[in-house]
A and B are shown apart, each in its own frame.
Chain A
Amino acid sequence: MIEANLPILPIVVLLLGALMVPTFGMRNRAAAHPISLGMLGLFVIAAFGLFQKVMDDGIQHYRLGGWEPPVGIEFVVDLLSAFMLLIIAAIAVLVCVYARVAVRKEMPTKEVPFYGVMFIMLLGLSGMVLTGDLFNLYVFFEVSSLGGYALMAVGHRKAPVSAFRYLILGTLGASFYLLGVGYLYVLTGSLNMADVASLMPELVGNPALLLSITLMLGGLGLKMALFPMHLWLPDAYSYASSTATAIIAPVMTKVSAYVLLRILFFVYDQNLVHDILPIDGVILWLGLAGVTVGSIMAIAQKDAKRMLAYSSVSQVAYIAVGIGLANRWALVAAMLHVLNHAAMKCCLFLITGGVFQQTGSTRISAYTSLGRKMPWTFAAFAVAALSMVGVPPTNGFFSKWYLVLGAIDAGQWVVVAIVIASGLLTGVYFFRMIARIFTNPEAGAPVQEGARELPLSQLAPILVLAMALLVLGLFNSWIVNNVLLQALPPALQLGS
């Protein structure tokens, strides 16, 4: 019974969580956190079970309400979806452990709505990765975005302004996507991804199809903060509360990147993407521009959260470069980087949140000599920073490695040069911070006397993530061989 309904289980658990938090939290605010933690624990178990099932038995189909596709809505879980779901679940549960102290300190009266909205956002994101229906994806897309706007609006005084700007641009993106789906529907009469894909060869060269793919790229590009559509991101990330940023930054833009990958390679025809309209070339060059601009802007920042936000722009652009190169190793790199970047960014944003709690500041100058006061936290920071730069054996090295392999396969030497150069640029802003954290203060620089090590409930997720960066790096070949190479689109799989 449970096994047959496994694909829908993560969604059901999250919906139940979104209902239970306000119901029980209304009487007793303190109940919100344990309930969320429990439900997210179930979510992780469901996600892991689903992953295991897909590993053993292959692609899972689930028909909502028993209606046959293409008329009914279908959930299709392949390895890529299960992999994404597992990332979302792991990040969610770690941030939830951390959130107990952080949320109580940062927004003391808003615990119940915070956890409730968090469930709604996670529900949307999980739906996006599980669904096999283009319109259903739009609905989940908007559900996750609505949750995201609400989460981002609480925090700094300026947060509502940046959240509103994000709402306008995010809705614009989702509307473009919806219009793109409309054109596809007119052409094919179907919304089921597999069904649309099977009708695609007859349509190659149709101008309406080209328009639909352009609209979708625009919409998804806005949501994944692909250069030059990244302008909403730095403000939104730096003014949101640290817990909200720590859960939104690792997964939200990555899930949009996943949707882009899914639509380009699983729905549209390979020839269309490459030969007729060079959409992969556009994504590649926008990605390369984003990598460079994001890194340079990050160097110029004085605020740690803002610096990380710009570095997110450049890291998401790596994923875009992988999608744009569109060969086997580049796509493996893109998918591996989704995992790696989620772990690194989550760890770093949790640390900036912790420092904000201890010192009341997110400015880089507040980090002076904090390495002595918070040794464990900043040991984790050092690992995450090395991983961002791409030093082996951390996992950040390996996604860049596969990306360079992909670029060499494609004969794109410019890409190789830019990927390596931007690794150096990343080094500039992270080593500058590490130097500030672990050395004695210069004369005149303010030192935070009151700062102490974080409590265990906040330190534990940070350390788990830092360990994960090393473990994922060491075991990357297992992930690549057993998961990612099997998750590639059929046209790119080995032996085809």
Chain B
Amino acid sequence: MIQRLFDVVVGHWPYAFTVVLLVIGLYGMLLKGNLIKKLIGMNIFQGAIILAYVVFAYKKDGTVPVIMFDEHHHAIEQASRYMNPIPHGLMLTAIVVGVATTGVGLALLILIHRTYGTLEEDELMERLRRDD
């Protein structure tokens, strides 16, 4: 059982790494008591997914999907060696979305800090309860 698990991980280091990142991110998002740390956890989680996509697209000895020309202006096409560019394009969009989400999150945190003077969840809960 453990040997099998070991075999799976050894062949797939990048995947194992993204899984570890996903777990760290999830832990930060759901269990950390500080709201900024929750936001950082969210960023790690998104980063892990972005890395996962980039790993999907990777090809050993691959090259960029651009048609090159030799000195006689003949196109050198190496379609079998091209890395898949679509996941990269998709992830550019996902990074932009992540940045926007982080921005909105930070703006909310500024609002919370102005109103309640704290970003620690337990203190915040205490002050919220006093508000009622």
B56 neighbours in A (Cβ, 8 Å): 182, 185-186
Interface centre among A149, A171, A185 (most CB of B within 10 A): A171
A167 neighbours in B (Cβ, 8 Å): 101, 104-105, 108
Complex interface bits, A158-200 against B, C-beta within 8 A gives 1, otherwise 0 = 1011011001100110010011001001100001000000000
Docked complex: B15-69 residues within 8 A CB-CB of A:
26, 29, 35, 38-39, 42, 45-46, 49, 52-53, 56
Smallest CB-CB separation from A150: which chain B residue?
B104
A142 in the interface, Cβ–Cβ < 8 Å? yes
B108 neighbours in A (Cβ, 8 Å): 149, 153, 160, 163-164, 167
A135 in the interface, Cβ–Cβ < 8 Å? yes
Compute how far the CA of A84 lies from the CA of B101 in the bound complex, rounded to whole angstroms: 26
B3 neighbours in A (Cβ, 8 Å): none
A157 in the interface, Cβ–Cβ < 8 Å? yes
B53 neighbours in A (Cβ, 8 Å): 182
Smallest CB-CB separation from B110: which chain A residue?
A160
Compute how far the CA of A185 lies from the CA of B87 in the bound complex, rounded to whole angstroms: 9
Is A178 a contact partner of B101 (Cβ separation < 8 A)?
A: no
A483 in the interface, Cβ–Cβ < 8 Å? no
Is A164 a contact partner of B49 (Cβ separation < 8 A)?
A: no
Given A179-B49, A182-B53, are A146 and B101 also a contact pair (CB < 8 Å)? yes
Compute how far the CA of A4 lies from the CA of B113 in the bound complex, rounded to whole angstroms: 50
B79 neighbours in A (Cβ, 8 Å): none
Contact of A178 among B26, B42, B49, B86 (CB under 8 A): B49
Is A182 a contact partner of B42 (Cβ separation < 8 A)?
A: no
A139 in the interface, Cβ–Cβ < 8 Å? yes
Is B115 a contact partner of A157 (Cβ separation < 8 A)?
A: yes
Name the segment of B6-14, B70-78, B90-98 touching the other chain: B90-98
Chain B interface residue number, banded: 20 to 34
Compute how far the CA of A40 lies from the CA of B93 in the bound complex, rounded to whole angstroms: 28
Is B105 a contact partner of A164 (Cβ separation < 8 A)?
A: yes
B111 neighbours in A (Cβ, 8 Å): 153, 160
Is B93 a contact partner of A139 (Cβ separation < 8 A)?
A: yes
B104 neighbours in A (Cβ, 8 Å): 146, 149-150, 167
Q: How far is the CB of A125 from chain B (nearest CB, A)?
A: 16
Smallest CB-CB separation from B29: which chain A residue?
A168
B42 neighbours in A (Cβ, 8 Å): 168, 171-172
B29 neighbours in A (Cβ, 8 Å): 168, 172
Smallest CB-CB separation from A161: which chain B residue?
B112
Complex interface bits, A194-222 against B, C-beta within 8 A gives 1, otherwise 0 = 00000000000000000000000000000
Contact of A160 among B38, B86, B94, B112 (CB under 8 A): B112
Compute how far the CA of A157 lies from the CA of B56 in the bound complex, rounded to whole angstroms: 45
Chain A interface residue number, banded: 20 to 34
Smallest CB-CB separation from B50: which chain A residue?
A178
Q: How far is the CB of A142 from chain B (nearest CB, A)?
A: 4
Is B100 a contact partner of A146 (Cβ separation < 8 A)?
A: yes
Interface centre among A135, A138, A161, A168 (most CB of B within 10 A): A161
Compute how far the CA of A153 lies from the CA of B116 in the bound complex, rounded to whole angstroms: 14
Compute how far the CA of A145 lies from the CA of B105 in the bound complex, rounded to whole angstroms: 12
Docked complex: A423-466 residues within 8 A CB-CB of B:
none
Compute how far the CA of A146 lies from the CA of B108 in the bound complex, rounded to whole angstroms: 12
Interface centre among B97, B109, B128 (most CB of A within 10 A): B97
A135 neighbours in B (Cβ, 8 Å): 90, 93
Docked complex: A358-372 residues within 8 A CB-CB of B:
none
Is A161 a contact partner of B124 (Cβ separation < 8 A)?
A: yes
Docked complex: A117-171 residues within 8 A CB-CB of B:
135, 138-139, 142, 145-146, 149-150, 153, 157-158, 160-161, 163-164, 167-168, 171
B131 in the interface, Cβ–Cβ < 8 Å? yes
B46 neighbours in A (Cβ, 8 Å): 171, 175
B26 neighbours in A (Cβ, 8 Å): 172
Q: How far is the CB of A175 from chain B (nearest CB, A)?
A: 6
A138 neighbours in B (Cβ, 8 Å): 94, 97
Compute how far the CA of A191 lies from the CA of B93 in the bound complex, rounded to whole angstroms: 15
Q: How far is the CB of B79 from chain A (nearest CB, A)?
A: 14
Q: How far is the CB of A345 from chain B (nearest CB, A)?
A: 25
Given A160-B108, A160-B115, A164-B112, are A179 and B52 also a contact pair (CB < 8 Å)? yes
Smallest CB-CB separation from A147: which chain B residue?
B104
A158 neighbours in B (Cβ, 8 Å): 128, 131
B116 neighbours in A (Cβ, 8 Å): 161
Compute how far the CA of A163 lies from the CA of B17 in the bound complex, rounded to whole angstroms: 31
A163 neighbours in B (Cβ, 8 Å): 108
Compute how far the CA of A153 lies from the CA of B115 in the bound complex, rounded to whole angstroms: 12
Q: How far is the CB of B17 from chain A (nearest CB, A)?
A: 15
Q: How far is the CB of A123 from chain B (nearest CB, A)?
A: 14
Compute how far the CA of A158 lies from the CA of B64 in the bound complex, rounded to whole angstroms: 50
A185 neighbours in B (Cβ, 8 Å): 56, 87
Is B128 a contact partner of A161 (Cβ separation < 8 A)?
A: yes
Contact of B45 among A175, A182, A186 (CB under 8 A): A175
Q: How far is the CB of B32 from chain A (nearest CB, A)?
A: 10
A182 neighbours in B (Cβ, 8 Å): 49, 52-53, 56, 87
Interface centre among B53, B86, B94, B104 (most CB of A within 10 A): B104
* 29 residue pairs bridging A and B, Cβ less than 8 Å apart: A139-B93, A142-B97, A145-B101, A146-B101, A149-B104, A153-B108, A158-B128, A158-B131, A160-B108, A160-B111, A161-B112, A161-B116, A161-B128, A164-B35, A164-B105, A164-B112, A167-B101, A168-B29, A168-B39, A168-B42, A171-B42, A171-B46, A172-B29, A175-B45, A175-B46, A179-B52, A182-B52, A182-B53, A182-B56
